[in-house]
Amino acid sequence: MCMRYLGFVLLLWCPGVLHAQSAAQPCRAPVLKSGFFFPKQETYSNESNLSYACDNGHKPAVQGWWATSTCQNGIWSHKPQCIGEKSCLPPTIPNAKYTEASNGWYKEEHTIRITCDKGYIPKNNAITAKCVNATWVSVPVCEKNVRVCSAPSEIPHAVIINQEYKEVFDEDSEVQYECEDGYTVEGGSTKSIWCTAGNWTVGPSCNKTTEPDARRCGSTGSSTSSGSNKGECQITTISNCGRYPSVQNGDVVETHRKSLRYQCNSFYRLVGAEGVVCYSDGKWSEVPTCKAAFCALNTEAHPELAPDGVKHIKDGESMQVRCVDRWRFENHVVARCTDGELTMTRCCNKVQINTNIC
């Protein structure tokens, strides 16, 4: 009596043990029409295998003239089946999807219709395949759209943020990256690249952050703490250098006790260090410059565009511009400025869009 209670208590404390023992179920012998299997038994223990072959005029529903199946917790994997010898197994079509047969195979004369994955288009607009005498004929091909981009190349000392990795990016896709600690973006704060006509724009690089170094004083009569007029100048308070240096198309946006920070006006990009310091010889460190960072698009110089004057586009940015006829052509194009170079998509009419040639 005590032993019975003890066994009951053990089951209450170890229910997982009981579940594990009952989880692995045996399999019943499969029903196999137009075929035979070995070994022939009424039940099969979990993980046991059987082999089967089919009668004349039939074949297994997998590759080969014979096949094996495994009992996995009460279910045969795969299910033994004998199908007509002219039937087709599922085709492999890279970068495409189609409706899968519920029984895992297709009768002769069956036609499937494919849909290409995002970023791919059907070659020659072919989207169907037909099962003929156990072979798929006219199998379509999904080729990469020339206007989409592969995954962006590795950027030294940077990582792509807020975007999962994928092999194909649509045109006009934008990805942002962040520089590694100790590195900063060259030429400003832009940290994005865009997919344009099958290629990624060239973004700024991540360069190692450097602080202004002390420099050598010239023979200007200034002296260092050692008394030598050609010793190493020290960084001192900005009041010792007097008037702030002028930067065309830029201005001082921050002042600190020992440094100035410059920023360029809109449509200009900073070249050089944004920080400027004062040296003990009364001279400023090297001052940055502001380089033009925009493209000018004269819509009146493009007959396919609706005349709307000159459009200014910042470097690294894009703008939608209307086509001349919204009914005949696509409503707008995308104009992008990359390193001072202007690129545009095309104004496409409806026929070109529908035939994937635009």
For position 35, which CATH number holds?
2.10.70.10
Output DSSP code: residue 170. Answer: -
Q: What is the mean pLDDT of residues 288-304?
A: 88
If one compares 348 and 82, the residue with the highest pLDDT of the two is 82
CA 259 from centre of chain = 40
Of 169, 192, 208, which one is at a domain's C-terminal end? Answer: 208
For residue 125, pLDDT over 70 is answered with yes
Task: Tell me the whole-structure pTM to 2 decimals.
Answer: 0.45
- Shared domain for 114 and 138, answered yes or no, is yes
pLDDT of residue 198: 85
Query: What's the gap between Cα 285 and its chain centre?
Result: 42
Q: How far apart are CA 306 and CA 303, in angstroms?
A: 8
Do residue 138 and residue 160 come from a single domain?
A: no
Residue 11 lies in a domain: no
- Express each pLDDT in 7-52 by its tens digit: 444 344 445 444 444 568 999 999 999 999 999 999 999 999 999 9
On the question of pLDDT at 215 being above 60, the answer is yes
Residue 337 is assigned to a structural domain of this protein: yes
Number of domain units in the chain? 5
**Cα separation of 154 and 159, whole Å?**
8
The pLDDT of residue 230 is above 50: no
Task: State which H helix or E strand residue 233 sits in.
Answer: none
For the four alpha carbons of 94, 98, 102 and 106, in that order, the dihedral sign comes to negative
The answer to whether position 20 is within a domain reads no
- Do residues 157 and 181 lie in contact, with contact meaning Cβ atoms separated by under 8 Å? no
pLDDT(327) > 80: no
Assess whether 316 and 299 both reside in one domain. Answer: yes
Q: What confidence score (pLDDT) does residue 88 get?
A: 95
Helix, coil or strand: residue 38: strand
Q: CA 271, CA 107: separation in Å to the nearest integer?
A: 68
Flag whether 58 is in a domain.
yes
Q: Could you list the residue range(s) of the whole structural domain that residue 126 is in?
A: 96-144
Extended strands (E) in 61-187: 66-72, 75-77, 82-84, 96-97, 111-113, 115-116, 120-122, 128-132, 135-137, 142-144, 149-150, 158-161, 168-169, 174-179, 183-185
Query: Are residues 44 and 64 both part of a single domain?
Result: yes
Q: Is the dihedral of CA 303, 305, 307, 311 positive or negative?
A: negative
Average pLDDT over residues 88-92: 94
Asked if residue 19 belongs to a domain, the reply is no
Instruction: Read off the pLDDT of each residue in 69-96 and give the average, rounded to a whole number.
Output: 93
pLDDT surpasses 60 at 253: yes
Average pLDDT for residues 164-192, to the nearest whole number?
79
* pLDDT averaged over every residue in the chain: 82
- Evaluate whether residue 9 is within a structural domain: no
Is residue 160 within 8 A of residue 175, CB to CB? The reply is yes
Place of tokens 């990795």: 165
Which of 84, 115, 135 delimits the end of a domain?
Answer: 84
Considering Cα of 158, then 163, then 165, then 166, what sign does the dihedral take? Answer: negative
As a whole number of angstroms, the distance between CA 160 and CA 179 comes to 9
Residue 187 has pLDDT above 70, yes or no: no
Looking at the structure, tell me whether residues 163 and 178 fall in a common domain.
yes
Same domain, yes or no, for 114 and 72? Answer: no
The CATH number of residue 139's host domain is: 2.10.70
In a domain, 214, yes or no: no
Q: Residue 332: what pLDDT? A: 80
Identify whether 168 is part of a domain.
yes
Region 77-101: what's the mean pLDDT? 93
